[in-house]
Amino acid sequence: MLDCADMNKVLVVAALAAAVCPLMAQTADVGCDGAVAAKAGRSGPCTPLAKQIDEVLSAPAVARAHWGIDVTAMDGTPIYSLNDGQLFQPASNTKMFTTATALALLGSQATFETRVVARGSFNTPANLAGDVVLVGGGDANLSGRTIPYVPPALRPKPTPGGPALPEPDALRYLKQMADDVAKTGLKVVNGDIVGDDTLYPWEPYPEEWSIDDSLWGYGAPVSALTITDNQLVLKVAPGAAPGQPAVITLDPIAPYYTVDATALITGPAKSGSHVQIDRAMGSKALRLYGSIAVDAQPDDEEIAIHDPAEYAAMVFKSLLEQRGILVTGVAKAKHRLPTDSRGYYAASHETVTLEDRSYAIAKGTPTACVSNCAAPAPETVLATHTSPALIEDMTVTNKVSQNLHAEMFLHNVGAAVLGDGSTANGARVVRAFLTTRVGIDPDDFVFFDGSGLSGHDLLAPRATVKLLHYATTQPWFADWKKTLPIGGEDGSLVARFGRTALKDHVFAKTGTLGEARALGGFIECASGKTVIFSIMDSTHSPHSSEDMKAMDKIVGLIAAAN
């Protein structure tokens, strides 16, 4: 016999069954696995798309990774979500937040000026008693890079069997400024050649950049005076026969690093390339060891320049001397050391009020002097160089995921809005923009740099989708969307989606850092609709790309379902 309480329970269960069974009948053919969904942290209806994504993420090669996904229509209507409020390492997805802030606040046509000034007095028009100073203004493109960015398919191709096409001179803009200085009639500099990067405090490495990264070009130190992306190209070619020394060249040539390659030899044919490179922190000595096969192609490595302002001064001194200008002093750097004693987290979270206008970077040089300062030396401008428009550099930055340029955007917005281009000030401005204008939850992100190379950066997928949706409502959206890599076409997506129907229909920023990966942007779907998406994963199996393959499958499923 059932008592009244038990009978009530039966009636409640029956009522729930009556309500739920029709829904189960509608979705029975979908067959979503509740255990898989629960393990994945997915909530929401058991749609065909949800089932398909569950199946992809339950595969043994990716099931142990932590996944987060958010997908919405262009108007913000939710389509699918999985752990969308949890935090992941964004890697280079960070660049979308940095570049959107810079574009919105500085404007697409903003430029940055590098100046050559004489600080001192002229005894005669040809004789300077003082220093020639190369003043960095935040230009990331004092290099041989082709601007505007050209997609791989449209780049000039060499004649079959002919020589490779020549690359633009990496030092071309420094040479132009050196020519302009020579045209002033200057013949003698009784002083030094100074590389001045004091627009930013000297904070070459943001927090949590790996010490291993500092050797390589992708981890080059951040400086307001940036030359050739603050990196040199080290080329290692085999000798003429096994056992002979390898052939080493550095480009552009400058007496900056010494190279010890006594432990690097030419190996036998088909033995492969096993070149290792070391540089101690603060050192200007490179040590190469290992082997390179006699039949191997040259091994090109991008090596970071330890002190970019010092290197720029050394190169500029050499260029002036080549033009017949005598320099009695030395080449050296002028840095401005940080003075903010607060911790980074507190400083970067301090409130900033953004005005409704475009900001510009002041061309003056900040000074750390507060009181009892010596009068500045008289200053005469000898030469200037103006950068390409901001949007041109932004295209390079997002297409090829250029870390240094993203860091310079971060510093430049700090310099423009707050008058000081520190890392924390740049992060303050980005945070203010994202929380007050975009409307992102302050707890959905924290950025310790502008590129995503910091392991401290954290981001929720829904924050990416929120940014992307906001961008679609802004007058600068069309320009900014063009900076994103295109699937199967260019940038960091050139080798993804190229053999599928998604070629030219995915516009998204990639991100890779250790065992974390991210992809966020826009998908043009089978129906003709466009959706916004963010897919992130962390703690995937080391040295594996299975998570990337799963990510691309999910993009295809989203496109087919919408």
CB under 8 Å to 392, separation ≥6 — which residues? Answer: 147, 148, 149
Q: Give buried/exposed letters for 225-248 (b at 16+ CB in 10 A, else e).
A: bbbbbbbbbbebebbeebeeebbb
Q: Kindly report, residue by residue over 224-271, the tens digit of the pLDDT.
A: 999 999 999 999 999 999 999 999 999 887 679 999 999 999 999 999
pLDDT digits (tens, 9 = 90+) for 77-87: 999 999 999 99
Burial of 414: CB neighbours in 10 Å, binned 0-12, 13-18, 19+: buried
The per-residue pLDDT for 32 is 64
**For residue 36, what pLDDT is reported?**
52
The pLDDT of residue 7: 40
Whole-angstrom CA distances from 442 to 29, 428, 458 are: 41, 12, 11
* 11 SS3 class: helix
Query: Smallest Cα–Cα separation from 467: which of 457, 454, 481?
Result: 481
- The span from the CA of 82 to the CA of 41, in Å, is 6
Q: Where does the pLDDT of residue 24 fall: very low under 50, low under 70, confident under 90, or very high at 90 and above?
A: very low
pLDDT at residue number 306: 95
Tell me what pLDDT residue 23 has. 33
Q: What three-state secondary structure class fits 34?
A: helix
Report the pLDDT value the prediction gives residue 376, as an integer from 0 to 100: 67
What 3-state class would DSSP assign to 132? strand
Confidence of residue 22 (pLDDT cuts 50, 70, 90): very low
Query: Could you please report the per-residue DSSP string of 470-494?
Result: HHHTSTTHHHHHTTS-BTTTSGGGT
* pLDDT band, residue 362 (cuts 50/70/90): low
**Would you state the pLDDT for residue 27?**
33
> Do 533 and 554 meet the contact criterion of CB atoms below 8 Å apart?
no
Hunting for tokens 């007058």 — which residue is that? 475
Q: Is the peptide bond before 252 cis (omega within 30 degrees of 0)?
A: yes
- Give phi and psi for 149, each to the nearest 5: -60, 135
Residues 422-426, mean pLDDT to the nearest whole number: 97
Q: 302-355 pLDDT, tens per residue?
A: 999 999 999 999 999 999 999 999 999 999 999 999 998 989 999 999 999 999
Compute φ and ψ for 420, nearest 5 degrees: -150, 120
Beta bridge partners of 383: 116
Cβ neighbourhood burial of 203 (10 Å; 0-12, 13-18, 19+) = buried
Whether residue 169 has pLDDT greater than 80: yes
- pLDDT higher at 560 or 45: 560
Residue 405 has pLDDT above 90, yes or no: yes
Residue 206 scores a pLDDT above 70: yes
Is 26 a residue whose pLDDT tops 80?
no
Whether residue 513 contacts residue 530, with contact meaning beta carbons closer than 8 Å, is answered with no
CA distance 448 to 314: 31
| 41 residue type, one letter | G
Parallel, antiparallel, or unpaired for β 78-82 and 331-334? unpaired
What DSSP element (H or E) covers 118? strand 113-124
CB 332 within 8 A of CB 194: yes
Q: Do strands 127-135 and 113-124 pair parallel, antiparallel, or not at all (unpaired)?
A: antiparallel
CA distance 140 to 422: 16
Say if residue 40's pLDDT is above 60: no
Joined tokens for residue 254: 């400058």
How many other CB atoms are there within 10 angstroms of residue 260's CB atom? 13
Distance, in Å, from the CA atom of 494 to the CA atom of 501, rounded to the nearest integer, reads 14
Can you count the helices (H) and strands (E) in the chain?
13, 22
| CA-wise closest residue to 535 among 551, 549, 557, 547 | 551
Percent residues over pLDDT 90 in the chain: 84
Using the predicted structure, report yes or no on whether residue 462 has a pLDDT greater than 50.
yes
Question: Which residues are CB-contacts of 138 (< 8 A; sequence separation ≥ 6)?
Answer: 112, 199, 200, 224, 361, 408, 411, 412, 415, 421
**Cβ atoms of residues 286 and 258 within 8 Å:** yes
Q: Which residues contact 84 (CB under 8 A, 6 or more apart)?
A: 68, 69, 70, 460, 461, 462, 465, 534
**Cα gap 117→119, rounded to integer Å:** 6
In the chain the first and final C-alpha atoms are separated, in Å, by 53
Other CB atoms within 10 Å distance of the CB of residue 139: 23
Which tokens sit at 78?
A: 């939710």
- Average pLDDT of the residues in 99-114: 98
Mean of all residue pLDDT scores within the chain: 91
Tokens of 497: 């989606």
What is the predicted pLDDT for the residue at 374?
Answer: 61
Lowest mean pLDDT segment, chosen from 76-85, 154-163, 209-218, 281-290: 154-163
Q: Are 495 and 552 in contact (CB under 8 A)?
A: no
Cα–Cα distance for residue pair 322/74, rounded to 1 Å: 58
Region 451-475: what's the mean pLDDT?
98
Sheet of strand 273-278, all strands in order from the earlier edge strand to the far edge: 258-267, 285-293, 273-278
Query: Sign of the CA dihedral 470, 476, 480, 482?
Result: positive
H or E stretch covering 417: helix 403-418
pLDDT (mean) for 160-182? 93
CA dist 277 and 231 (Å) reads 15
pLDDT classification of 14: cutoffs 50, 70, 90 = very low
Phi, psi angles (nearest 5°) of residue 61: -70, -20
As a whole number of angstroms, the distance between CA 142 and CA 532 comes to: 35
